[in-house]
Amino acid sequence: MELFHKPSIDFIANRRIPIVISLCVVLGGLGAITVKGFNYSIEFTGGTLLQVAFPKPVDVGDLRSRLDRAGIRPEIQTVTAPGGKLSYILREKGEEHALAADSEKTMQALTEAFPDNAPVLERKDFVGPVVGKDLKRRTYWAIFLSLVGIVIYVAFRFSNPLWGISGVLALFHDVVGTAGLFALLGKEVDLLIVTALLTIAGYSINDTIIVFDRMRENLRVKRGVSFAELVNSSINETLSRTIITVLVVQIVCMVLFAVGGPVLRDFSLALIVGNLLGTYSSIAVASSLIYEWETCFGGRKAAEADLPAKGGKALKKLKGNA
């Protein structure tokens, strides 16, 4: 299945436009994260826990919407006691010293929201953050080592560390752009959003490696063509595959966004934005960065049709092995 029949878009001729746009996305994302910061969820900050019960069962969606109108936005979980009695656990960010005031405010809001079905407070407590400082530190190290591993893998696979660095820069663009949007909008960042960001990174590097693989194949079979033509043909040959893949994923994400409810809405939003950025960077940014390097720093002039006279040793090696 192909969306385009032999496309011939000249991505390299206009390569600096998407590179500048991507630079603006990265700087904007980093600026939003630095200035506004993340709105971390209770897993990261800790908070208060209330367990309440109602004489008559209450719909979770109705409970969430009524509390939201009162300015209270807790995480809500239902639990069933051995006798079949249904209770609701409300977790909300807050300090331990404010536990009494927060619980009183929440109970008052529930009483006003359900005047004919008055809630009963069964338990109140302060819960510490699930993700502590040590786990955060380990997470940062895990991400850093993963990026280093990607660079090493791509460098080994394509005989050039610059290819790996280009792939990681494209990945960084996608994750920072999505995270920056969440910081800008003040949306809550919980463990589900962290999962979405890691998923975006996986999709992004996969799409980029598909394009890189085609470039490597064309280096072996297309002799006597300029590097610009080779990069353009590689992107065009994988264009249908890339767009079809992202469309299938986006359809699922949009369905989750529309009918998944409040719990999955931000998660699906992160995937929608991240996949769009990932597809854009794989098509227009990653390969353009390689071309920029080979042209400007690899000893190759833009008009030359052969491999670079200086630098670009990996490209010579790939052709020599063909």
Averaged over 232-250, what is the pLDDT? 89
Identify the CATH assignment for 47-127 out of 3.40.190.10, 3.60.10.10, 3.30.1330.40, 3.30.70.3400: 3.30.70.3400
Residue ranges, comma separated, of all CATH 1.20.1640.10 domains in the chain are 16-40+132-321
Return the HEC string of 177-205: HHHHHHHHHCCEECHHHHHHHHHHHHHHH
Going by pLDDT thresholds of 50, 70 and 90, the confidence category of residue 266 is very high
- The reported pLDDT for the residue numbered 297 is 66
Instruction: State how far Cα 41 lies from the chain centre.
Output: 17
Domain with CATH 3.30.70.3400 in the chain: 47-127
Give the residue-averaged pLDDT of 136-156.
Answer: 78
The Cα–Cα gap between 291 and 307 comes to: 12
Specify whether the CB–CB gap between 154 and 3 falls below 8 A: no
Q: What is the mean pLDDT of residues 56-83?
A: 83
Token pair 């790939």: residue? 318
Q: Give residue 132's pLDDT.
A: 64
Is residue 74 within 8 Å of residue 18, measured between CB atoms?
A: no
- Report the topology of domain 16-40+132-321: Multidrug efflux transporter AcrB transmembrane fold (1.20.1640)
The token duo for 13 is: 């001729």
Mean pLDDT of 82-89: 79
Query: Which of 177, 171, 174, 141 lies closest to 154 in space, CA to CA?
Result: 171
Estimate to the nearest angstrom the gap between the alpha carbon of 87 and the chain centroid: 34
